[in-house]
Structure 1
Amino acid sequence: MQLRKLAASIVLTGVLAGGIGAAVAAEPEDTMIIRLKSGEVTVALRPDLAPKHVAQIKELVAAGAYDNVAFHRVIEGFMAQTGDVQFGDVEDGFDARRVGTGGSGRPDLPAEFSDASFERGTVGMARSANLDSANSQFFIMFAPAPHLNGQYTVIGQVEAGMELIDQIKRGDAAQNGMVQNPETIVDVRMASDAKQ
């Protein structure tokens, strides 16, 4: 009986410390690995919350679309944004004036809002004022942001490597976090893929 109480306490503590769902790891086909120059960040994608968004992200990962893409907007105490595959690839087509406005050439997606909260490590889809405009860009939260709850689509949660996200170069607060000479993603793969 005591052992059962201890096990329940450990599970509950894991959920409280990491957020709903954080205590359960995603399957390899839903685990995205973002390689930075400083190491790897593991993200548990949530197709249960946002199946269309997760499917599109996985298609872009399979195509290598996120390789060399900049963290173009990084705001201290808020989030780091990346994923503009149209204007954010620092080795092919980077446009400092347009980065953050592009997509992927794939269709924009209808919003898939959920009850999931934006907590530290939550990964959400960036969009314009149009609720159904998310495409390829995503952001990773440095801290909780309850004002985003129900307003942006949650696609996952960082499982490991959050300390590497914390180290990403911050942008200019006066320019809404736009980063000069931004850091980039080296590449992205799914855990179910062979290591590159």
Structure 2
Amino acid sequence: MRNRHLLILTIALLMAACGTKYKNPHIEIQTKLGDIEVELYPDQAPTTVAAFLSYVKAGYYKNSSFYRVLNSDNQPSNAEKAELIQGGLYRSNPKVHDTLTGIPHETTRQTGIQHKNGVISLARLAPGTATSEFFICLGDQPGFDYGGENNADKQGYAAFGKVVKGMDVVNKIYNQPEDNQSFDPPVPIFDIIQL
């Protein structure tokens, strides 16, 4: 009987070791100021997560950067205020950025993922134009949700995950020197990898 329990325990441990570490995919944004671990939500935002992970697997984020910051001091006084850091390929690898096809827009009304503190979302112009550029919210940003005030079209942004480790790094990046919403200099992203 003891050997049978030992065998069952061994098989269970081996199966656990062969399985994935997490229920949802996790990525690590490796920056000059530290690492940020993000859990992605493919059940809620399947199209957005699939596109983002395809860029990660293709290595597009190697040597990219966080290049933009919104804070309470660098936005017009009559605008809806937002706090975020934005990164991607736009400044570091425009040749790849400019070849990417827009991702069909998954609104927060569809996904149920609201722009709360630490949520990662895709930057965009019109709905369906988002590609490789992403931002991380500092504090809750309801103006980015469906029906929110930060987009004239009221469609909001496509949230698809949340920081689970490294918000201290997000805050450190947020507090870097900036000029007119641009980090000066940009904060290097060495790579983004799937864990």
TM-score between both structures, scaled by the size of structure 1: 0.70
In the TM superposition, residue 111 of structure 1 has moved relative to its aligned partner by 0.6
In the TM superposition, residue 28 of structure 1 has moved relative to its aligned partner by 6.9
1:120 matched to which residue of 2?
117
1:171 matched to which residue of 2?
178
Give yes or no for contact 1:29–1:190 (8 Å, CA) kept in 2.
no
Report the 3-state secondary structure (helix = DSSP H, G, I; strand = E; otherwise coil) of the residue aligned with 2:168.
Answer: helix
After TM superposition, the structure 1 = structure 2 runs for residues 1-196 of structure 1, keeping only pairs within 5 Å, are 27=22, 30-76=25-71, 78-83=83-88, 85=89, 87-89=90-92, 103=97, 105-114=99-108, 115-128=112-125, 130-150=126-146, 151-168=156-173, 169-172=176-179, 175=180, 177-191=181-195
Q: Distance in 1 between matches of 2:62 and 2:182?
A: 20
Q: Distance in 1 between matches of 2:104 and 2:65?
A: 25
In the TM superposition, residue 54 of structure 1 has moved relative to its aligned partner by 0.8
Q: Distance in 1 between matches of 2:183 and 2:35?
A: 21
- Going by fraction, where is strand more abundant, 1 or 2? 2
Q: Distance in 2 between matches of 1:38 and 1:28?
A: 28
Unaligned 5+ runs, structure 1: 1-25, 95-101, 192-196
Report the 3-state secondary structure (helix = DSSP H, G, I; strand = E; otherwise coil) of the residue aligned with 1:35.
Answer: strand
In the TM superposition, residue 93 of structure 1 has moved relative to its aligned partner by 6.1
Unaligned 5+ runs, structure 2: 1-20, 73-82, 147-155
Q: 1:182 to 1:28 in 2, by over 3 A?
A: farther
Give yes or no for contact 1:42–1:159 (8 Å, CA) kept in 2.
yes
Q: Distance in 1 between matches of 2:169 and 2:144?
A: 23
RMSD: 2.1
Bigger radius of gyration among the two: 2
Q: Which moved more, 1:71-80 or 1:148-157?
A: 71-80
Give yes or no for contact 2:101–2:131 (8 Å, CA) kept in 1.
yes
Give yes or no for contact 1:75–1:170 (8 Å, CA) kept in 2.
no
Report the 3-state secondary structure (helix = DSSP H, G, I; strand = E; otherwise coil) of the residue aligned with 2:186.
Answer: coil
Report the 3-state secondary structure (helix = DSSP H, G, I; strand = E; otherwise coil) of the residue aligned with 2:169.
Answer: helix
Report the 3-state secondary structure (helix = DSSP H, G, I; strand = E; otherwise coil) of the residue aligned with 2:52.
Answer: helix
Q: Distance in 1 between matches of 2:134 and 2:45?
A: 13
Q: Distance in 2 between matches of 1:72 and 1:39?
A: 16
Count of aligned pairs between the two proteins:
151
In the TM superposition, residue 62 of structure 1 has moved relative to its aligned partner by 0.9
Kindly, what percent of the aligned residue pairs are identical? 28
TM-score between both structures, scaled by the size of structure 2: 0.71
**Partner amino acid for 1:142?**
L
In the TM superposition, residue 137 of structure 1 has moved relative to its aligned partner by 0.5
